[in-house]
Amino acid sequence: MSERAFSPEQVAVLRALEPQRPQRVPELATRLSLDQAKVAAAAMSLTQDGLVSLREEPYREWSLRASREDAAEAVILERRIVRALAAHEGRGSLAEVAMWSGLDAKEVGQALRVLALRGWARKEGAALVLEPTASSGDPMHDPDESAITLLAANSGGRMTEDELALAARGAQRELDLDRARTLLGPKNAWIEIREKTHRWLSLTEEGLATRAAGVESVREVSQLTPEMLATGEWRSIRFKPYDVQLATEPVYPGKRHPLQRVIEDVRRAFLDMGFAEHASPWVESGFWDFDALFQPQDHPAREMQDTFYVARPRRATLPCDEALVDRVRSTHENGGATGSLGWGTPWDRAKAEQNVLRTHTTAATIRALRDDPKGPRKVFSIGRVFRRETIDFKHLPIFFQVDGIILDERASFSSLLGTLGAFYERMGFSKYYFRPDFFPYTEPSVGVYIWYEERKDWIEMGGAGIFRPEVTEPLGCTAPVLAWGLGLDRLAMLKYGRGDIRDLYWSELDWLQGAPSCP
Amino acid sequence: MPVIGIPTGELKSRLGRELTSEQLLEVLGSVGCDVDGYALLRRVQCTRCSAVFELAGKEEPPVVCDRCQSDLRASTSTSTSTSASASTSASTSALRELPPLEVVRMELLAVRPDMFDPGGLARALRGILEVETGPATYEILEPLHTVRVDPSVRDERSFRPHIACAVIESITLDDDRIKILMKLQENLHWALGRDRKHASIGVYDLDSFASTELEYTTEPPDYAFRPLGGATSSTLANILSEHPKGRAYAHLLAGFDRYPILRTRDGRVLSMPPVINSEETKVHQGTRGLFIDVTGPSARVVDRALNILATSLLELDLGARLRGVKFVAAVERVTPDLTVQRVKLSVEKTGRLLGLDLDTASVEMLLRKMRHGISTSSDAASLEVLVPAYRNDILHERDLMEDVAIAYGYDRIPRTLVPTMTVGRELPIEARSNRAREVLVGLGFLEVMSLVLESPESSAQLLGLPDHPESVLLENPISVDQTQLRTSLLPGLLETFARNRHHALPQSIFEVSDVTFLESTTETGAREERHVSLAQIAPKVGFAEIRAWGEALVRELGWPLALRPTQGAEAPFLTPGRGAWVVAPDGSIAGILGEVAPTTLDRLGLGNPVVVAEFALPGADGGPDATALRSFSPLR
């Protein structure tokens, strides 16, 4: 027995074929009572293995485009023109011919070339003139007309050229197939001619030897089923090999939003560094958003131009700790007990009561300081902040920010720089530098610049500093408070290579689905 | 922040030391300048008043000269490219091309107006470079001019009660220096003056008026003089309504029936602060002396602005001399007042705050690099620092600690960590939000994030509901479609489907975010509530699927799912009989889920069935009762 395993179709084909006696696939399939496509597929794989030889023979198959009934009555275009001319003394203008024959002028025009080819009519100036040789009556004798008639008589309406020639002889007709093809042309209304191939199969010597050694069939399947496992049928089954290079439809997992992933990275970094998470409301009083941070009441950032004010609910109630409000007021006006000069202008309680959409998450860290001004503690807050920016590729009125603070007797500017370094290294930026910067509520202040390799440039990545005594002392904080803030949208844009900040919120599913999980 | 161009040549020539271009950028960075880099500016000059305009990149020359108000639209004399014909430009040429100028471009450092110009900036850099440390000293000559301050500018209904003046003699002004002077004046108006509100500066040709007796007073609207750029004299009322500068600054004088005037006692008007100078007293090339005034509502800002301008001009032209101006008012005084500000600084506190081991001598040395003086009466524990009168940013000894840090150099400060051990702690609501994300990602849903502002019209229309009576409304929205904070995440998800019609189905999305409601019990009158919302659009999806997903979500978060059918018009965006309220154990509504009604799909142009769900996560305030579901109010 051969060591080869064959499918049942392959076994059947091997058994049915003989050397030197070619058989065609359709006949073979009929004999084997199998589907032609299965026989062809089995034969092809046997041919590749060298067990079967294949000879290909091209042929033409003619088939009717129209129904057999219509074809039986067929009168080709040119014949209708000849009949019309014959009925009108063999002469007429194109328009007349069209009218007589019931054709339209365009069809008559298109027929001129074939009329001349058939030797039935010719153009003389504007007139079409019947040739003396043309006959209008039956039998219709041109070869294409004969072919249509023969096909109409065939039960399938379809014949090979050999069969057509045979049928013509039986009907005692002349049939010049080449001329018929020329006259029909490719786009005729009656007959479609297709180039086809006969496949002749025969057994090779090797095939004969293989068959002599004995062949056994093994079923080939593409899908394992529970039944196969239950019955043990899997033992005699061969699995159709896959083309492993073949592409499959892509599938995508459910995913977190890229910006949310960056937010989570930053959260993790702070939690790992021992920071406690805090939150504060989006609708915030001017008091906590600005005044508690020693932002002067006439600071440009507080103007309607830059900050969203809230019409409903318009006013906040200030903290019930009236002494705190008073300390903030006096610090603004004259420095209060902080040793500062203050801003030297009257402080307006009504301005502090105006509700705004918070302009920074520093509102959250300053509230956390109020809740526990003694420490030591580390606090961070991540959230949306609101600025009255006109929307463009770099600016949105809403974005995410993170703020962190360290309240500690042993904190210093040196430990601020060290903590910032640790944080940015944790976020994957190993190259950074610090530069003096200026913020209203920190002193000293520092800007952090990170090296962004893809752009070969330094990029400002956040601001930091030590809260001014005018900020911390009214809250009852005596220890230094290190503070820093960072916009997260920009970080996400850098990480995901997006040039337009609007993309982050546009919810384009193609991008969200395709954005890499490990950028 | 405005960007300024400091002429590189003017700056470098004043540093007292050769610096390469890179070194200059480095030292500018070390004092906190946000430098863009070097740039070559095209310069054109108004042929009528000699004002110089610097043009960056492809910037076009101005249409109107902002100094003399003449029309500049005729082509420049060295006609560059425009099609204006040569014959007309020969007679009407309003602009002359000057050689280009190399500048260092940097953002204006608002807290240090004393470094806005090459003179003042070089003064600071010479200190950092240790070319010249300690205070810069300026001699003030005896006043020749007196200014009488009329009580009317000081009365309650006045607006610019404070004035300070100075005289600069023997100054050499070419076009470039006039340009520097104009820019400094403009930038001081921006940074200290808040667009002339807090301080307004006037600079005049000293020789354009003979009298040394001046007065600062007020006049009624029909008083007239010839404003800068004007051909004839105009009444104050006309200036405010017709002159470009008048229109620009009329708001600063709104509500008054008399306006400030600075003039000589014999009637020559210098200016109408804070609006416009007079044409006769304007500064021009060849002006040998300057009279300067600053007016405003705050004495401190007025004095600082004058001090900065006067000392920067002395730095600019070393041959110039400063002369005081005497005020005759309730209190007599002479300005500019360059008296130093004395601030006590603890050496020990400075070292501790910066994390540096600093002794008195080194702190003193660092402060001198920042051009501060040190009083001889200083003791070992604390220094008495003499802060120059041109510094406007020293409110507290802390500000001097920053000066010490800058002089020390941020890059030399060691990087340490706070030694205290603390434990990280996340907010329960954030932990729970992440659980919800985990579940929905596991179910194959894609997270979206949208902007949280919306209009009541769009969300109400989308859901077929009236405006939410508890939504937070903005006073000054940027656009009509962003006027309130959203109260539900569902409209955003439906709009996401509408935007992604080209994307393959099914589409499964979710969002976790806060929504906002009025809440009378909170400090601000509003509160946020954390919601999670999910939706799918698919050719075949219905109530059974969204119920199963919703149940999976709440099951994983530890709650039982209880539903109650929505009735009638409660939720018109859901198909009747195919929507349900999610009911919390205490009977309150905690969410909603169901099939979106075809009318809503039709409104959005969606061609496939959509199911949605939205839940309020408990404990948005991180409070102790984490399992009680908050009331779900957006859709009731």
**pLDDT tens digits, one per residue of B128-181:** 999 999 999 999 999 999 999 988 887 666 668 899 999 999 999 888 888 889
CB distance B244 to B65 below 8 Å:
no
Number of domains in chain B: 4
Task: Please check whether residues A10 and A138 belong to one and the same domain.
Answer: no
**Contact across the interface for B422 and A510, Cβ inside 8 Å:** no
Q: Token digits for B286? A: 């060849």
Which pLDDT score, from 0 to 100, does residue A92 have? 86
Task: Please check whether residues A181 and A211 belong to one and the same domain.
Answer: no
Query: How far does the CA of residue A222 sit from the closest CA of chain B (Å)?
Result: 28
Is residue A514 included in any domain, yes or no?
no
Enclosing H/E stretch for B510: strand B507-518
Which pLDDT score, from 0 to 100, does residue B156 have? 60
Find the range with the poorest average confidence among A58-67, A246-255, A400-409, B437-446.
Answer: A58-67
> Phi/psi of residue A205, each to 5°?
-60, -45
Task: Please check whether residues B16 and B145 belong to one and the same domain.
Answer: no
Is residue A498 included in any domain, yes or no?
yes
**Contact across the interface for A259 and B449, Cβ inside 8 Å:** yes
Contacts (Cβ under 8 Å, ≥6 apart) of B173: B181, B283, B285, B286, B287
Task: Please check whether residues B373 and B348 belong to one and the same domain.
Answer: yes
Is residue B9 included in any domain, yes or no?
yes
Of A178, A206, A239, the position where a domain reaches its end is A239
Amino acid symbol at A396: L
Task: Please check whether residues A84 and A185 belong to one and the same domain.
Answer: yes
Q: How far is CA A518 from CA A10, A515, B99, in A?
A: 50, 9, 53
Find the range with the poorest average confidence among A266-275, A352-361, A385-394.
Answer: A385-394
Task: Please check whether residues A144 and A205 belong to one and the same domain.
Answer: no
Q: How far is CA B143 from CA B168, B317, B339, in A?
A: 11, 20, 16
Query: How far does the CA of residue B256 sit from the closest CA of chain A (Å)?
Result: 22
Is residue A515 included in any domain, yes or no?
no
Which pLDDT score, from 0 to 100, does residue B588 have? 78
SS3 (DSSP) at A226: helix
Assign residue A181 the CATH number of its domain: 1.10.10.10
Is residue A501 included in any domain, yes or no?
yes
What average pLDDT does range A159-185 have in this prediction? 84
Please say if the pLDDT value at position B217 is more than 70.
yes
CB distance A32 to A39 below 8 Å:
yes
Q: Give A35 or A276, the one with higher predicted confidence.
A: A276
Amino acid symbol at B412: R
CB-based contact (8 Å) between A412 and chain B? yes
CB distance B177 to B52 below 8 Å:
no
Residues from chain B contacting residue A396 (CB–CB below 8 Å):
451
CB distance B358 to A417 below 8 Å:
no
Task: Please check whether residues B193 and B273 belong to one and the same domain.
Answer: yes
Is residue B51 included in any domain, yes or no?
yes
Range of the domain at B499: 428-616
Task: Please check whether residues B464 and B612 belong to one and the same domain.
Answer: yes
Task: Please check whether residues A216 and A335 belong to one and the same domain.
Answer: no
* Rg value, chain B, Cα: 34
Which pLDDT score, from 0 to 100, does residue A5 have? 73
Q: Which residue of B has its CA nearest to A315?
A: B524
Task: Please check whether residues B230 and B307 belong to one and the same domain.
Answer: yes
Q: Which residue of A has its CA nearest to B527?
A: A281
Task: Please check whether residues B287 and B363 belong to one and the same domain.
Answer: no
Is residue B118 included in any domain, yes or no?
no
Task: Please check whether residues A482 and A364 belong to one and the same domain.
Answer: yes
- Closest by Cβ to B32, choosing from A316, A410, A436: A436
Of B92, B107, B122, the position where a domain reaches its end is B107
Is residue A517 included in any domain, yes or no?
no
- How many contacts, defined by CB atoms under 8 Å, are there between A and B? 259
d(CA A232, CA A219): 13
Mutate to test the interface with A, among B128, B385, B449 (most CBs of A within 10 A): B449
Please say if the pLDDT value at position A216 is more than 80.
no
Please say if the pLDDT value at position B55 is more than 80.
yes
Please say if the pLDDT value at position A94 is more than 80.
yes
Query: How far does the CA of residue B409 sit from the closest CA of chain A (Å)?
Result: 9
Is residue A182 included in any domain, yes or no?
yes
- Name the region of A50 (left: φ>0; alpha: ψ -120 to 50; beta: rest): left
Please say if the pLDDT value at position A140 is more than 70.
no
Long-range contacts of the stretch A390-395 (C-beta < 8 A, 24+):
A390/B478, A391/A502, A391/B478, A393/A499, A393/A500, A393/A501, A393/A502, A394/A501, A395/A501
Task: Please check whether residues A186 and A286 belong to one and the same domain.
Answer: no
Please say if the pLDDT value at position A369 is more than 90.
yes
Range of the domain at A233: 5-64+198-239
Assign residue A445 the CATH number of its domain: 3.30.930.10
* pLDDT tens digit sequence for A7-57: 888 888 888 888 888 998 888 899 888 888 888 888 888 898 889 998 888
Query: How far does the CA of residue A259 sit from the closest CA of chain B (Å)?
Result: 8
Task: Please check whether residues A136 and A160 belong to one and the same domain.
Answer: yes
Assign residue B193 the CATH number of its domain: 3.50.40.10
Task: Please check whether residues B588 and B500 belong to one and the same domain.
Answer: yes
Task: Please check whether residues A112 and A10 belong to one and the same domain.
Answer: no
> Phi/psi of residue B85, each to 5°?
-75, 145
Is residue A405 included in any domain, yes or no?
yes
Residue B627: pLDDT band (50, 70, 90) is: very low
CB-based contact (8 Å) between A478 and chain B? no
Residues from chain A contacting residue B367 (CB–CB below 8 Å):
none
Query: Residues of chain B with pLDDT > 90: what percent?
Result: 61
Mutate to test the interface with A, among B394, B420, B427 (most CBs of A within 10 A): B420
Is residue B621 included in any domain, yes or no?
no
**Contact across the interface for B453 and A419, Cβ inside 8 Å:** no
Number of domains in chain A: 3
**Contact across the interface for B447 and A411, Cβ inside 8 Å:** no
Mutate to test the interface with A, among B401, B413, B418 (most CBs of A within 10 A): B418
List the one residue out of A294, A461, A267 whose CA is nearest residue A380.
A267
Q: Which residue of B has its CA nearest to A467?
A: B398
Task: Please check whether residues B451 and B548 belong to one and the same domain.
Answer: yes
Q: How many CB atoms lie within 10 A of CB A426?
A: 15
**Contact across the interface for B354 and A279, Cβ inside 8 Å:** no
Task: Please check whether residues A435 and A323 belong to one and the same domain.
Answer: yes
Please say if the pLDDT value at position B48 is more than 60.
yes
Which pLDDT score, from 0 to 100, does residue B590 have? 84
Task: Please check whether residues B356 and B311 belong to one and the same domain.
Answer: no
Which pLDDT score, from 0 to 100, does residue B163 have? 92
Residue A248: pLDDT band (50, 70, 90) is: confident
Which pLDDT score, from 0 to 100, does residue A138 have? 52
Find the range with the poorest average confidence among A177-186, B19-28, B602-611.
Answer: A177-186
ipTM of the shown complex: 0.88
Is residue B630 included in any domain, yes or no?
no
* pLDDT tens digit sequence for B72-121: 776 544 444 444 444 444 445 688 888 888 999 998 888 999 999 999 99
Q: Token digits for B424? A: 């990280």
- Closest by Cβ to A274, choosing from B422, B485, B516: B422
Residue A136: pLDDT band (50, 70, 90) is: low
Nearest-10 Cα torsion for A396, A397, A399, A401? 120
CB-based contact (8 Å) between A193 and chain B? no
Is residue B418 included in any domain, yes or no?
no
* pLDDT tens digit sequence for B289-302: 999 999 998 888 99
**Contact across the interface for B451 and A510, Cβ inside 8 Å:** no
List the one residue out of B160, B272, B291, B159 whose CA is nearest residue B225.
B272
* pLDDT tens digit sequence for B386-429: 999 999 999 999 999 999 999 999 999 999 999 999 999 999 99
Q: Give A393 or B453, the one with higher predicted confidence.
A: B453
Helical residues (DSSP H) of A402-459, grouped into ranges:
413-426
Contacts (Cβ under 8 Å, ≥6 apart) of B607: B501, B601
Residues 20-59 of A with CB under 8 A from B: none
Going edge to edge, which strands form the sheet with A310-312? A310-312, B473-474, B484-485, B453-454
Which pLDDT score, from 0 to 100, does residue B2 have? 82
Give B39-59 as a DSSP string: EEEEEEEETTT--EEEE-TTP
- Name the region of A344 (left: φ>0; alpha: ψ -120 to 50; beta: rest): left
d(CA A458, CA A144): 82
- Closest by Cβ to B524, choosing from A253, A281, A411: A281
Task: Please check whether residues A100 and A170 belong to one and the same domain.
Answer: yes
Residue A99: pLDDT band (50, 70, 90) is: confident
Task: Please check whether residues B91 and B186 belong to one and the same domain.
Answer: no
What average pLDDT does range B197-223 have in this prediction? 93
Mutate to test the interface with A, among B346, B452, B476, B501 (most CBs of A within 10 A): B476
Task: Please check whether residues B355 and B235 belong to one and the same domain.
Answer: no
Q: Give B630 or A374, the one with higher predicted confidence.
A: A374
SS3 (DSSP) at A323: helix
Of chain B, the end-to-end C-alpha distance in Å amounts to: 47
Is residue B251 included in any domain, yes or no?
yes
pTM of the model: 0.77
Task: Please check whether residues B549 and B438 belong to one and the same domain.
Answer: yes
d(CA B141, CA B169): 10
**Contact across the interface for A257 and B449, Cβ inside 8 Å:** yes
Task: Please check whether residues A107 and A159 belong to one and the same domain.
Answer: yes
Is residue A249 included in any domain, yes or no?
no
- Mean pLDDT (chain B, rounded): 88
- Mean pLDDT (chain A, rounded): 88
Paired sense of beta strands B140-149 and B213-219, if any: parallel
Residues from chain A contacting residue B353 (CB–CB below 8 Å):
412-413, 466, 480
Query: How far does the CA of residue A128 sit from the closest CA of chain B (Å)?
Result: 58
**Contact across the interface for B451 and A397, Cβ inside 8 Å:** yes
Is residue B112 included in any domain, yes or no?
no
What average pLDDT does range B207-228 have in this prediction? 93
Q: Helix %, strand %, coil % for chain B, to 5?
A: 30, 30, 45
Where does residue A73 rank: exposed (0-12), middle (13-18), buried (19+ CB within 10 A)? exposed
List the one residue out of A407, A108, A83, A430 whose CA is nearest residue A274.
A407
